[in-house]
Amino acid sequence: MPLTDYITGLYAALGTTMSLLHRERTGQGQSVDVSLIESAFSFMEAHVPAFEKTGVVGMRAGPRLPHSAPNTLFPTKDGSHIHIAALADAVFRRLAEAMDQPELGTDSRFAQQAGRNRNEAELEALIGEWTSRYDMQTLKEKLEAADVPATNIYTVADIFDDPHFKAREMLVATPDDDLGQVTLAGVVPKLSATPGRIRWSGHRLGQDTKEVLQSLVNLTAEEIAALEKQGIVSCDPQGAQP
Q: Is 5 a catalytic residue?
A: yes
Q: Which of 114, 132, 153 is the last residue of a domain?
A: 153
Range of the domain at 15: 3-54
pLDDT of residue 4: 64
How far is CA 217 from its chain centroid?
39
pLDDT of residue 202: 84
pTM for the complete prediction? 0.64
pLDDT of residue 201: 87
For residue 163, is the peptide bond before it cis, meaning its omega torsion is within 30 degrees of 0?
A: no
Q: Does the residue 63 lie in any domain?
A: no
pLDDT of residue 242: 40
Q: Does the residue 16 lie in any domain?
A: yes
Determine phi and psi for 152, rounding to 5 degrees.
Answer: -80, 160
pLDDT of residue 121: 94
Q: Does the residue 112 lie in any domain?
A: yes
Q: Does the residue 219 lie in any domain?
A: yes
Same structural domain for residues 41 and 83?
A: no
Q: Does the residue 234 lie in any domain?
A: yes
Q: With beta carbons less than 8 A apart as the criterion, state whether 177 and 203 touch.
A: yes
Catalytic residue among 5, 78, 147, 158: 5
Q: Does the residue 118 lie in any domain?
A: yes
Same structural domain for residues 95 and 146?
A: yes
Residues of the chain with pLDDT under 70: 1-4, 6, 238-242
pLDDT of residue 6: 67
pLDDT of residue 241: 45
Same structural domain for residues 76 and 142?
A: yes
Q: Does the residue 188 lie in any domain?
A: no
pLDDT of residue 238: 65
Structural domain tally of the chain?
A: 3
Q: Which of 153, 172, 191 is the last residue of a domain?
A: 153
Same structural domain for residues 13 and 87?
A: no
pLDDT of residue 33: 79
